[in-house]
A and B are shown apart, each in its own frame.
Chain A
Amino acid sequence: MSPVLSVVQPAPQVQTSAVVLEKVRIAFPNAKRGGASFVAVDDANLAVADGEFVAIVGPTGCGKSTLLNATAGLLKPASGSVSIFGEALSGLNRKAGYLFQAEALFPWKTAVENVAIGLDIVGTPKAEARAEAREWLARVGLAAFADRYPHMLSGGQRKRVGLAQVLIRHPKILLMDEPFGPLDAQTRQIMGNLLLDLWSADRKAVMFVTHDLEEAIALADRVVIMGAGPAARIIGEWKVPIARPRDIDVRLDPEFHRLHKEIWAALKDEVVKGYRQSETVEQGQ
């Protein structure tokens, strides 16, 4: 893998963006030795301003998680650059909190211990960390579940513990990968509103991956659409001019409908394409 350093220097910007992805290309080595590597994302350009809420929508397997991983510094782009608040990213992104798509709680720690861990490891006194963790659990509506282990929580409750675990560290950038993925429609809306409440109290830059276009429009300042992979790109972006604070009824807003129709027209073909491509890729291997 080639180093992150590239010829392309981050363009000087008036206001430093929280995240700038420039011509990012991410390739995975082929599982079979000697095989060509698989380019998941190619030529991805995206800037997220400080305090901006950006939703990323795209067909399954297009590379949304991959893009977040690159922003988190967990994956090195094969080429292109990732800069965080104007600095080229090398190693892990220390300014970001990441809510993973898959289960990532410590199964041997209770909910409150899971939330407190981010403070524990920076040397916060134990009692203080616990107290703050309990506050955060209360904020995500889980005060009564503080002493449960993850396996005793529902999928949605686990996601909320994960959210508290990330937010307690006050990251300046929040990466969320389908945080409400396994939840039913109603719970998703409730969680979405909870997220907006927490976010508006302390505006961070958010990259929010979802496969639910309605959710994306309801939550975000800007919706970014990724095309189908392989070598997926960002194929379009729409500003969401709906005023904040938004309430649950945002989905009834005429502007919401107009946007939804417009974005869906662009997304539809990609979704079908993405599904076909993943079929052929699987057959080809």
Chain B
Amino acid sequence: MMRSRSTLLGLQLLVAVVLLAIWHLGSTVKLNIPAISAKPFYVLDPFFFSTPVAVFQRTFLDFYSGAIWYHLGITLLETLLAFAIGAAGGVLIGFWFARKAVLAAVFDPYVKMANALPRVVLAPIFALWLGLGIWSKVALGVTLVFFIVFFNVYQGVKEVSPTLLANARMLGMNERQLMRNVFWPSALTWMFSSLHTAVGFALVGAVVGEYLGAAAGLGYRIHQAEGVFDVTGVFSGMVVLSIFVIIIDMLVSAIEKRLLVWRPAPATAQ
């Protein structure tokens, strides 16, 4: 049981400070231990690990000069498009399959097969089909988001409480009203419960796609830096990516909190 928010925050910061300190000392202080090596050496060689100061300097400069904004924008756009298209497709098809048992039964093996496929192998194909622009990355994200949302919505519609359904019918709802008042909210609930995962995967799709072949985006920048052994650039890209993920995740949490007000707060562990 955590005592308070501020204690928690303090501890979280402490972890960051300790890790940064280790990194900083390891990459700036030369040790001279003849037993291990004749020459003085770094524990974390800056050629391979860069230094925190250099990384933050680079990150700051990228933001300051504005060079990074364009790439952030591209990645954000790809993520949003992948999420929107994947989620819309997942909701529609999930809904449809859940209401048409025959359809679900016929397509079941194919859905499972498609979902089992590692998406990375699709990236070159999408690049071939859709070019090196944003759409091949969006497509990769869609293949990830779609299945998460699809399975959740399918489950959500299938698992509507029979009593709730009977009650809705006894209250006089027709098929359309049942859809709107029972199945749809239930499906949405399940979809929102997978929102974090889905948005995360949309981002993974975008970044992996960029990494494997693109002309813009965060993944592309990391790849570029790697190509010239610019470790500072790679780490800086990772820092930006992490901040980006945290902000998106916070936004999703806020949205979720608004949309799922009616749900009981999850029982806290212990």
A-to-B contact residues, CB < 8 Å: 72, 74, 92-94, 96-98, 100, 102-110, 117-118, 121-122, 149-151, 165-166, 169
- Please, which residues of chain A bring their CB within 8 A of the CB of B164? 103-106
Residue among B167, B173, B177 making CB contact with A104, cutoff 8 Å = B167
- Please, which residues of chain A bring their CB within 8 A of the CB of B171? 117-118, 121, 165-166, 169
| Residue B263 at the chain A interface, CB threshold 8 Å | yes
Is B172's CB under 8 angstroms from A94's CB?
yes
Is A108's CB under 8 angstroms from B170's CB?
no
Q: Mark B140-174, 1 if CB is under 8 A from A, else 0.
A: 00000000000000000000010110111111111
Give the distance to chain B from A283, nearest Cβ to Cβ, in Å.
Answer: 27
Q: How far apart sit A99 and B165, CA to CA, in the bound complex (Å)?
A: 13
| Residue B262 at the chain A interface, CB threshold 8 Å | yes
Q: How far apart sit A102 and B261, CA to CA, in the bound complex (Å)?
A: 23
- Please, which residues of chain B bring their CB within 8 A of the CB of A74? 166, 169-170
Residue among A97, A103, A109, A166 making CB contact with B262, cutoff 8 Å = A109
Is B172's CB under 8 angstroms from A121's CB?
yes
Listed by A's residue number, 7 A-B pairs whose Cβ atoms lie within 8 Å are A94-B172, A98-B166, A102-B163, A104-B166, A106-B164, A106-B181, A169-B172
Q: A106-B182, A121-B172 are in contact. List 12 more A-B contacts (CB 8 A).
A: A74-B170, A102-B161, A104-B164, A106-B181, A108-B185, A117-B171, A117-B181, A118-B171, A122-B172, A151-B262, A151-B263, A166-B171
Given A121-B177, A151-B262, the answer on whether A103 and B170 have CB atoms closer than 8 Å is no
Residue among B166, B169, B172, B262 making CB contact with A107, cutoff 8 Å = B262
- Please, which residues of chain B bring their CB within 8 A of the CB of A96? 170
Q: Mark B177-213, 1 if CB is under 8 A from A, else 0.
A: 1000110010001000000000000000000000000
Q: How far apart sit A109 and B171, CA to CA, in the bound complex (Å)?
A: 15
Q: How far apart sit A76 and B17, CA to CA, in the bound complex (Å)?
A: 69
Give the distance to chain B from A227, nearest Cβ to Cβ, in Å.
Answer: 26
Which residue of B is nearest A91, CB measured?
B169
- Please, which residues of chain B bring their CB within 8 A of the CB of A104? 161, 163-164, 166-167
Give the distance to chain A from B261, nearest Cβ to Cβ, in Å.
Answer: 7
| Residue B264 at the chain A interface, CB threshold 8 Å | yes
Count of chain B residues near A, Cβ 8 A:
21
- Please, which residues of chain A bring their CB within 8 A of the CB of B262? 107-110, 149-151
Is A92's CB under 8 angstroms from B169's CB?
yes
Which residue of A is nearest B260, CB measured?
A108
Is B167's CB under 8 angstroms from A98's CB?
yes
Q: How far apart sit A104 and B169, CA to CA, in the bound complex (Å)?
A: 11
Which residue of B is nearest A69, CB measured?
B166
Residue among B163, B181, B261, B263 making CB contact with A103, cutoff 8 Å = B163
Q: How far apart sit A118 and B172, CA to CA, in the bound complex (Å)?
A: 7
Which residue of B is nearest A94, CB measured?
B172
Which residue of B is nearest A93, CB measured?
B170
- Please, which residues of chain A bring their CB within 8 A of the CB of B261? 149
Give the distance to chain B from A99, nearest Cβ to Cβ, in Å.
Answer: 9
The listed residue with most B CB atoms (<10 A of its CB), out of A72, A94, A107, A165, is A107
Give the distance to chain B from A103, nearest Cβ to Cβ, in Å.
Answer: 7
Q: How far apart sit A97 and B166, CA to CA, in the bound complex (Å)?
A: 11
Is B173's CB under 8 angstroms from A121's CB?
yes
Is A108's CB under 8 angstroms from B177's CB?
no
Given A118-B171, A121-B177, the answer on whether A108 and B189 have CB atoms closer than 8 Å is yes
- Please, which residues of chain A bring their CB within 8 A of the CB of B181? 106, 117, 121
- Please, which residues of chain A bring their CB within 8 A of the CB of B263? 107, 149, 151
Q: How far apart sit A151 and B189, CA to CA, in the bound complex (Å)?
A: 15
- Please, which residues of chain A bring their CB within 8 A of the CB of B166? 72, 74, 98, 100, 104
The listed residue with most B CB atoms (<10 A of its CB), out of A74, A104, A169, is A104
Residue among B169, B170, B185, B264 making CB contact with A106, cutoff 8 Å = B185
Give the distance to chain A from B182, nearest Cβ to Cβ, in Å.
Answer: 8
Which residue of A is nearest B265, CB measured?
A151
Given A96-B170, A117-B181, the answer on whether A151 and B163 have CB atoms closer than 8 Å is no
- Please, which residues of chain A bring their CB within 8 A of the CB of B170? 72, 74, 92-93, 96-98
Given A72-B170, A92-B170, the answer on whether A100 and B163 have CB atoms closer than 8 Å is yes
Q: How far apart sit A105 and B168, CA to CA, in the bound complex (Å)?
A: 9
Which residue of B is nearest A92, CB measured?
B169
Which residue of A is nearest B185, CB measured?
A108
Which residue of B is nearest A72, CB measured?
B170
Question: Which residues in window 211-264 of B have CB below 8 A to A?
Answer: 261-264
